[in-house]
Chain A
Amino acid sequence: MNWPFLLLDAADNNSVANYFPIGIQLIFAAGFVATMIGVSQLLGPKRKTADKLETFASGIENHGDARQPVAIKYFLVAILFVLFDVEVIFFYPYAVNFRELGWSGFGAVLMFVSFFLIGFIYIIKKGALKWED
């Protein structure tokens, strides 16, 4: 095993050496995190204010417990997002085989997208995405 071709060697044979690059990666990652935290601890200025002890909520003031019901609209939008998001999965095989599939593949995808759009128009017509009542 010679150092410059470490990755190529690892791909060829099936042994513990396969995991050597991953080990290096792990050490680097852990070392980087440790170094950054240590250095910022050593060099950075220290100001203790009340705001800093608060729970971090993306800059918004937090209020109350997380375990309280939220408006059902959030749920609806989240569910619709999941549905429409996952359908994108079918575009990956199409993208990979774009040239081979040609026009018939394009027709199939067009049909898929149009069904998709029909569903989307239906949702809008039903008012599922209307945020204000």
Chain B
Amino acid sequence: MPIQYYIYLCLALFSIGIIGVLTRRNAIVVFMCIELMLNAVNLLLVAFSKMHHGAALAIDSTTKAGIDGQLFVFFIMVVAAAEVSVGLAIIVMMYRNTHSVDINFLNRLKN
């Protein structure tokens, strides 16, 4: 399948994530949208990795080009897991203090 389909799909997912972050008011949903952005990037990286591998394979049949893209995906996943644990802990802490996860309540610092 041509690479541009993947690019368009990933950009669409990424944009959905961004719009979600900007418009939703529930901290957990915002967080899920951020995860969606990260996963769009993962998909794009894997697609590019395959593309570069394919291009290099035509010249050299033992090439390892494109492997680094997939490795990057592993690192994104692990870092995302670390972020999830910290982020959910923060949200739970917030919930225990205010009994709400609505980010509209985040205005104590405005004045």
Contacts and interface: CB of A to CB of B under 8 A. Distances in A.
Answer yes or no: A and B touching, Cβ < 8 Å: yes
Given A87-B78, A90-B78, A93-B74, A82 B85 contact: yes
A83 B92 CA distance: 17
Tell me the dominant secondary structure on chain A's binding face.
helix
A119 B103 CA distance: 32
A72 interface: yes
Contacts, number: 29
Contact-size category for A: 10 to 19
A110 interface: no
Given A90-B74, A93-B74, A83 B1 contact: no
Interface string A68-97: 000010010001101101110110110000
15 contacts: A14-B1, A72-B92, A75-B92, A79-B84, A79-B85, A82-B81, A82-B84, A82-B85, A83-B81, A83-B82, A83-B85, A86-B77, A87-B81, A90-B78, A92-B74
